[in-house]
Amino acid sequence: MVASEPVHGQRRPLRGGLVTFGETMALLSATRTGPLRHADSLRLGIAGAESNVAIGVRRLGSEAAWTGRVGDDELGRLIVRELAAEEVDVRGAVVDPDAPTGLMIKERRSSATTSVLYYRRGSAGSRLAPADLDEELIAGAGVMHCTGITPALSSSARAATFSAVEIARAAGTLVSFDPNHRTALWPDDAEAAGVFRDLAARADVVFAGEDEAEMILGEAFAPDAAARRLAELGPARAIVKLAERGAVACAEGTVRSAGARRVDAVDPVGAGDAFAAGYLAGLLDAADPVAALALAVAVGSWAVTVDGDWEGLPRRSELGLLDAAAGDVRR
């Protein structure tokens, strides 16, 4: 690991907000539908599951911090600038002079199909290590959120993930975990399932899609039973996301469900991160399980109505716009 420095000055506790870490990459999105080879222009942005959650939580009014490694290049500077512009605390970001910032490309092959290509092997983000973590920052947070993407990037990133979890548990910081399963990153599903199961057992809050719940549990269950069985692994709150069917949550032993909001979906990428951001923002506000689940569903619904992984994430004052009539103009 090369010697490197945080992006911004002295670090200090986050005072009860959210802290997360992982790889955020530059994103090139085709501006027209069809095969990528026929795209005549690409839009430059950023994307990363963990930073998406941080932006979502911050827009909903809670403090949020992101830690990760970026290359000493224009794409790395773009990532730090964009997150800082969203008022996400980036003091834990590290510039790696010897590895490039990762890149992802989004292709909209048809009006109903989106595919994402990753160019992240040997990237700065994949070189995340336990030494990059700020124990004081994690200990001062209300929630430490991690995903199953980071431990798949490298052995050092996996060690950093488990180290962050143990730091949080020792400090009394709640641990949130979302598998965010990326098949291409794992040698096989069995290894992924083992890591996901270990992290779920150490977490206070677990988010999982139906397929991810099946991976962790080793067999398929109906959503309500899956939520209960996930909670039996250890987390006080286990949420099974059902996409357009809403979600089911087991919180402190009680199972509740929430139906999805009806919206015109434009871009489904980032919906799971938006859902997690809404739930965790509710948790940080000490909302009851019903209110937290309702907020998660609303924010997840908002995210799919706009192009981009995080650009459409709402502020609390905007949540009511989901109920606006088509063609509503506000002046």
Measure CA of the first residue to CA of the last residue in the chain; give whole Å: 54
Q: Who's near 162: CB < 8 A, 6+ residues apart?
A: 151, 198, 199
Sign of CA dihedral 33, 35, 41, 46: positive
Phi-psi sector, 22: left (phi>0), alpha (psi -120 to 50), beta: left
Give the whole-angstrom CA distance, residue 5 versus residue 38: 41
**Alpha carbons 178 and 239: distance in angstroms, whole number:** 10
Give per-residue burial for 76-95: e unless 16+ CB within 10 Å, then b. bebbbebbbebebbbbbbbb
Annotated catalytic residue, options 73, 273, 307, 328? 273
In a 3-state reduction of DSSP, which class is residue 314? coil
Residue 98 annotated as catalytic: no
Q: Is 190 exposed, middle or buried (0-12, 13-18, 19+ CB in 10 A)?
A: exposed
CB 162 within 8 A of CB 129: no
Show which residues are catalytic: 273
